[in-house]
Amino acid sequence: MRKSGILLPISAIPSGYGIGGFSKEAYAFVDFLKAAGQKLWQILPLGPTGYGDSPYQSFSTFAGNPYYIDLEALIEEGLLTREECEAPDVGGSKEYVDYEKIYLSRFPLLKLAFDRAFGEKNYAVKPEYVRFVRENAYWLDDYALYMAVKDARQGMSFTLWEDDVRLRKEDVLAKCRQDYAKEVEFYKFQQFLFATQWKALKKYANEQGIEIVGDIPIYVSADSADVWANPRLFQLTEEGIPSAVAGCPPDAFSATGQLWGNPLYDWDYHKETGYEWWMQRIAYCYELYDIVRIDHFRGFDEYWSIPYGDPTAERGKWVKGPGYDIFDTMKKKLGDKAVIAEDLGFLTESVLELVAKTGYPGMKVLQFAFDSREDSDYLPHNYPTNCVVYTGTHDNDTTISWYYQRTEEDKEMANEYLDISPEELEKDKNRIAWKLIRAALSSVADTAVIPMQDYLEKGGEARINMPSTLGNNWKWRMTKEVCTEELAKKIKNLCALYGRV
């Protein structure tokens, strides 16, 4: 069935208190999606943000970001007061997230809510809380302890902790659980609020006919509860230090490649366990999402292994990954699940064969299509039906900003392909966004997903992420007044024209 959706991170929702969350504005966005005839809402990973504020560098692959907890709901429950939530240091810009301000203000507020919840509200024996803690103990216990220990060390990476804690000596862990019992409970409380509020929002979206497309990074952060609690799953030395890390080789975009720094998996061990941890991870994803986009799908076929400590990715080498075996296991244990394979970049024959064998739709990004030097698989006339087309992703510039940074030759190619003249663009420079949107929606791809910024005709100020840079990413926010009935009608009519409604 042909369908379409919109890509918008939770952080970009125009809710109050400095960052998007599971607030009434998120429910209003679901209503906007329905009015616009959309069937999908694609988001970014929901984990607690770590290094560089990136959702792809999280302290846990299972935990949720406490920044997204709706403070209004805590006010209604009597866990916070409006005066506390509206203090000058709590809010922030309506157009950009100030992560430092959020970090400094949000946890004291949640701590106030926690103290009241476990005081007068008696959360410790609340049946739904007790059940949540019990059912999620397989990851929650380690995550909560890890964060409590980390806080006691001023946020220091666990790789720098004293050896007996870093290497999880059982008697020392038992003492940590006792010493930090209240802090551990605080982190469990955060996760209960997150899960309860997110699942209510997801339920509402599903009731409106909207499915949630979630995002699972292939790798976990080096500084995470996942690595600390499960060292055997990764290529680590006896001292718990990575022997090799992840990245990408040098290419036309980067002479030294990309050094991501994530620890690599010990795939032989994963295979011995029947990929147990991966099956738990993926099964949990389907509690949170309806469809899962698996990031860096190529890494399951081959991965770039860089010696630990190298300053660049240049000395890395390709190593075979688990291949189809992990997806065969997934299908046998979890059944047929809806997956999008992020298969962007240079693809070898073996990667193409892996994607084809799984049957999962790959991704097509129109911004990659218009290179005047060569033909491209990203041009719509080359698409199979089993794919998901985007104008751009969270790693791309907005379409308007992208177009006006192209070479004249690339622009001419795009103009001819999209049937738009320079004269038209002189009258309305933003028309290029709608031309690219139309090309995506009219293509044979079963599914089309458009970043909200393109529908809003935004420029480079609304870019979500510029890969391999720090300090100015993941910040853009949508303002409240832009989701108009007029825009919803325009989107719906266009999607209907191409059989997506």
User: Is residue 401 assigned to a domain?
Assistant: no
Closest CA to 418 of 443, 393, 395: 443
Mean pLDDT is lowest, of 18-32, 48-62, 201-215, 449-463, for 48-62
User: Is residue 299 assigned to a domain?
Assistant: yes
- HSE-CB at 40 with a 13 A cutoff on CA atoms is 29
What pLDDT does residue 61 have? Answer: 97
Residue 253 banded pLDDT, cuts 50, 70, 90: low
- For the residues 441-469, what does the mean pLDDT come to? 96
pTM attached to this predicted model = 0.96
Which phi and psi angles does 126 have, rounded to 5°? -65, 120
CA distances from 275 to 322, 332, 352 (A): 10, 12, 23
The structure tokens listed for 155 are 């946020």
User: Is residue 177 assigned to a domain?
Assistant: yes
Q: Is 295 a catalytic residue?
A: yes
Catalytic residue among 183, 185, 215, 295: 295
Range of the domain at 62: 3-361+446-497
User: Is residue 335 assigned to a domain?
Assistant: yes
CA distance 232 to 238: 10
User: Is residue 286 assigned to a domain?
Assistant: yes
Q: Which CATH number fits the domain that encloses residue 51? A: 3.20.20.80
Q: Using the structure block, give the residue that is written with the tokens 């966005």.
A: 29
- For the residues 157-163, what does the mean pLDDT come to? 94
User: Is residue 391 assigned to a domain?
Assistant: no
Give Cα 369 to chain centroid, integer Å.
Answer: 24
- For the residues 237-246, what does the mean pLDDT come to? 92
> Residue 386: is its pLDDT beyond 90?
yes
CA distance 120 to 282: 37
Helices (H), 50-180: 71-76, 82-85, 99-117, 127-135, 137-152, 163-166, 170-179
CA distance 198 to 69: 8
Catalytic residue among 342, 343, 397, 457: 342
The tally of domains found in the chain comes to 1
- For the residues 372-382, what does the mean pLDDT come to? 86
Q: Which residues pair with 307 in a beta bridge?
A: 244
Catalytic residue among 353, 371, 377, 395: 395
> Residue 343: is its pLDDT beyond 70?
yes
The DSSP symbol for 242 reads B
Residue 52 banded pLDDT, cuts 50, 70, 90: confident
Give Cα 220 to chain centroid, integer Å.
Answer: 12
- For the residues 70-78, what does the mean pLDDT come to? 97
User: Is residue 397 assigned to a domain?
Assistant: no
User: Is residue 414 assigned to a domain?
Assistant: no
